[in-house]
Structures are given as C-alpha cells and as structure tokens.
C-alpha cells in the first residue's frame, strides 16, 4: 500500500445544487487541512484539495483519504466518500462531529476521528490504515498548540482567513453543538501559536476571523493576546464571535480595537429573558443596549445573531427584533428560525415532547438536503405561534431588513473601506432574501 494521504476539504452546494467555489466573505472555509498537515509523518507523501478552489481528483493514487465537511452539507461529503470508496481508498472523517454528521459519515468512512490528532495519533491512524486495522473511532482530544500550515492557501484570492485562539466554551446553552462536544471544557491556545498563525495569514489574506465559538472565554487571555498583537505590530484587521457580556469591559474593548478588532459577532439570540432561561443562555436582556453601545463606542461594529422559534416567541417577536436592531444601530442582523440539531439537549427535549421527528441517517442521505442558510423553515412544533406564522414572520422581517434604505443605513463605516465591507455583507443579506422568497414560492407551488 502506498504511503500517501490525500487531504480533502469538500465545499458545499447551493440551493441550485452547484458547488460553491472561490472565496468570499460568505465562504465556509474550515481549518481542517491546515490543522492536519503538520501532523502527517515525514515518510508519507501528501496531496491536498480544497474543493472551494480545485476539483477533487478521484483518481489520485493516495491510499488514504482524510475528509471533513461543513455542517451544512454533510451529504455532499458523503457522496465524495462514496466515490473514493469505489477506488478502494481508506477514508477517515473528522473535524466536524455533531452526532448526525457522525451517524451519516460512519456509514461510508472507515474511521471517524473526534478532536484534533497530534503527530503521535496521526502516526497510529496511518499505521492502522497500512495494517488494514482502522478503528471505528479515534478520540484525539484537543491538540491545538502548534502553528497550523496555511501554505495551502498560497496563490488563492482570499479576503479573509480563519484563525483559532481556543476551542470550547465556558457556557452550556441547550441548543449548542459545542456543549455536546466539549461539555463546558475550553482550552485556550498558546499565544505564540496564534501569533504565528496571524503572521502566516497576513501573507495570504488581509483580514483574520477568529473561529472560536467563544473568543471571550477568558478575559485575561484576550488582554494578553491583544497586548502581544499590539507589541508585534501585526497591523491586521480581525473579527471574532463573543457573548454580549464582553460589552461590560470598555477597557478591553478599546485594547481590542488597538489590536485590530473591527467586528464582533454577538449571539443575542432572543430579546425575551424567559426564552434565554429556557435554553440556559446566560445573557441579560436588560444589559443588551448598554453593552452594545460600549462595543460600538470602542469603534467595533456589531453583527447580531437572533433565533426565532424558542418557546416564548410569538408572532410579535419579529417586530421587537426589528426595532432592537434599528435602535441599537447594529451593522448587520443575522436571523434564523431555530433548527433543532440532533445531539443537543434542546433537540432531545423537543423529541421527548413529540415536537420534532428524529431523522435517521438513512433518511437524511436519501432526502439529500442541501445548504440552506439562513434557516427559513420551521422543522418542529413551536409553542406560542404556528409554523406558518414563524415562517411568514421570518420572511417579512427579512424583507424589512433588506430594503435599500435599511441596507444603506447599516453600511456606514468609519472609512470608505469599512463602509464597502459593511455594504457587501448587507447586500449578501438581500441576496439570501431572494433565495428564501424563491424557495417559499416553490413550496407554495408544490403544496
């Protein structure tokens, strides 16, 4: 058996079933290949494919294939694995491990790995492949204290690249996949490694996006990281996902701005405290406006995430969110109808209450769902609104958010470059709206 691995990062399909190519602000670019590359033993040859940029070579002579997927289109990864299987390749799947993905992918792949393999574990996995003794599961733990290999992006036109400063989250929200994966455990990465990655990213892309599920797990760590970025004069712009609680630290926010932070993605999720309590989200609605203003006063744009469909939502929730986004001058609202994710506690509760059906992996592969973000469909029985009210209210809100006047009012940046970025992000929202309207029309025709 040839000692050669093929690291493949599949892209995902649009609603028209074409595969998303190229890089833009919306590309769902994962770091699986840059994380795996440094762990491959020297005596193995390596080929790489990022499907966003190059077609997959199914006749590649590697004996072992590593696949990852985006959560939104695991069936696409499944079809890719099927083709490799026909070529008698040994296939490992990992880097994304919600229970439905694992359930789907273990039907076709030889081994599933959870977490990130280090050099030793990678050697074991490859030896197992050589000896035709691949285990069903490899539990690798969190190995992130080494610089990732970003050279895979060389020569590509990319407007931002992902960086990681830590994994896991101190919180424990019922609807979150990370709580299943890490159960409140979080690990911050060595700052030297983050700085090394930022320096690599600078060669290929002007902007870095921290992919941590919670960049603000440890305030002290964020202080130290920013101090280091400032000291090293990296002079890069970046953004990160944080809970709204970061808004209580104006000094830290100012430091983050000095270190290049220009955008924070904040999970407000709901404006109803009872909703938040029901899913164990530790946000305080009464602090939302004050904390948002503190972030904006530091010079950082705020993108806000909102869900609809939690138990205390009614059809009036849409108007409340519209007014909140307008009053707080958020730069971009990202709204979704809550989609129950198998494996999460909220999903289990809804199943127990007979409000959602459990799709089997078989059913999932056969129905071949494709990329559908934003989630504009309601896949469970809401409590205080009907499914139809949620879907109609959602579309109506999307339409209100994407009028030319709204888009322009949210696209005012501190300079031309930042205004153009905000405009691009907001125009994308309008593009998504067309997709939702089209899908809704199709449904009405079919019904």
- List contacts with ligand SF4 (CB under 6 A): 169, 171-173, 176, 178-179, 213-214, 243, 267
What is the rounded CA–CA span in Å between residue 219 and residue 170? 12
What tokens appear for 408 in the block? 């322009």
CB of 43 to ligand SF4, least distance (A): 39
Q: Which is nearer to ligand SF4, 100 or 173 (CB)?
A: 173
What is the rounded CA–CA span in Å between residue 261 and residue 240? 8
What tokens appear for 130 in the block? 């050589």
Q: Which is nearer to ligand SF4, 176 or 194 (CB)?
A: 176
CB of 69 to ligand SF4, least distance (A): 20
CB of 139 to ligand SF4, least distance (A): 21
Closest Cα to residue 161, out of 152, 174, 173? 152
Q: Which is nearer to ligand SF4, 47 or 218 (CB)?
A: 218
CB of 102 to ligand SF4, least distance (A): 19
Give the rounded distance of the alpha carbon of 226 from its chain centre: 23
- Using N-to-C axis directions, what is the helix angle for 219-231 and 250-258, rounded to 10°? 30
> Residue 318, SS3?
helix
What is the rounded CA–CA span in Å between residue 190 and residue 145? 6
CB of 27 to ligand SF4, least distance (A): 21
Beta bridge partners of 208: 161, 238
Q: Which is nearer to ligand SF4, 116 or 179 (CB)?
A: 179
CB of 185 to ligand SF4, least distance (A): 11
What is the rounded CA–CA span in Å between residue 189 and residue 222? 11
DSSP codes joined into one string, 77-138: HHHHHHHHHHTT-EEEEES---HHHHHHHTTT-SEEEES---HHHHHHHHHHHHTT---SEE
CB of 242 to ligand SF4, least distance (A): 9
Q: Which is nearer to ligand SF4, 96 or 178 (CB)?
A: 178
Q: Which is nearer to ligand SF4, 213 or 426 (CB)?
A: 213
Q: Which is nearer to ligand SF4, 11 or 214 (CB)?
A: 214
Closest Cα to residue 338, out of 379, 283, 389? 379
Phi, psi of 223 (to 5 degrees): -55, -50
Contact 296, 329 (CB under 8 A): yes
What tokens appear for 412 in the block? 């005012």
CB of 33 to ligand SF4, least distance (A): 24
Q: Which is nearer to ligand SF4, 213 or 328 (CB)?
A: 213
Q: Which is nearer to ligand SF4, 52 or 213 (CB)?
A: 213
CB of 212 to ligand SF4, least distance (A): 9
Look up tokens 């309008």; give the residue. 430
């Amino acid at each position: 058996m040839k000692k050669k691995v093929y690291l493949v990062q599949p892209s995902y399909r649009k609603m028209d079933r074409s595969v998303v190519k190229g890089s833009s602000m919306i590309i769902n670019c994962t770091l699986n290949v840059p994380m795996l590359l440094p762990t491959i033993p020297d005596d193995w040859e390596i080929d790489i494919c990022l499907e966003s940029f190059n077609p997959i070579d199914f006749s590649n002579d590697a004996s072992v294939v590593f696949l990852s997927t985006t959560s939104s289109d695991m069936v696409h990864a499944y079809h890719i694995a099927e083709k490799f299987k026909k070529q008698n390749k040994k296939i490992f799947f990992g880097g994304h491990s919600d229970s439905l993905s694992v359930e789907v992918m273990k039907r076709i792949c030889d081994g599933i790995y959870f977490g990130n393999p280090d050099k030793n574990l990678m050697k074991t996995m490859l030896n197992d492949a050589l000896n035709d003794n691949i285990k069903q599961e490899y539990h690798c733990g969190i190995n992130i204290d080494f610089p990732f290999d970003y050279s895979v992006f060389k020569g590509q036109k990319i407007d931002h690249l992902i960086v990681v400063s830590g994994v896991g989250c101190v919180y424990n929200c019922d609807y979150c996949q990370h709580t299943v994966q890490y159960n409140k455990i979080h690990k911050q990465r060595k700052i030297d490694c983050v700085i090394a990655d930022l320096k690599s990213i600078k060669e290929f892309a002007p902007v870095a996006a921290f992919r941590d599920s919670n960049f603000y797990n440890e305030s002290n760590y964020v202080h130290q990281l920013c101090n280091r970025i400032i000291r090293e004069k990296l002079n890069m712009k970046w953004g990160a996902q944080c809970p709204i609680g970061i808004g209580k630290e104006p000094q830290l926010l100012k430091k983050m701005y000095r270190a290049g932070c220009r955008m924070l993605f904040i999970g407000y999720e709901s404006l109803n405290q009872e909703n938040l309590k029901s899913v164990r989200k530790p946000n305080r609605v009464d602090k939302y406006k004050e904390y948002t203003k503190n972030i904006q006063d530091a010079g950082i744009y705020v993108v806000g995430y909102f869900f609809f469909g939690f138990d205390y939502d009614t059809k009036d929730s849409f108007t409340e969110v519209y007014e909140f986004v307008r009053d707080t001058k958020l730069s971009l609202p990202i709204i979704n109808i809550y989609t129950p994710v198998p494996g999460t506690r909220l999903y289990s509760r809804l199943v127990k209450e007979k409000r959602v059906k459990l799709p089997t992996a078989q059913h999932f592969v056969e129905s071949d769902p494709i990329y559908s973000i934003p989630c504009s469909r309601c896949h469970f029985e809401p409590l205080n609104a009907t499914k139809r009210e949620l879907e109609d209210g959602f579309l109506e809100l999307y339409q209100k958010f994407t009028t030319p006047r709204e888009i322009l009012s949210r696209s005012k940046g501190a300079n031309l470059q930042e205004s153009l970025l905000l405009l691009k992000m907001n125009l994308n929202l309008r593009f998504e709206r067309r997709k939702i309207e089209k899908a809704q029309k199709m449904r009405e025709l079919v019904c």
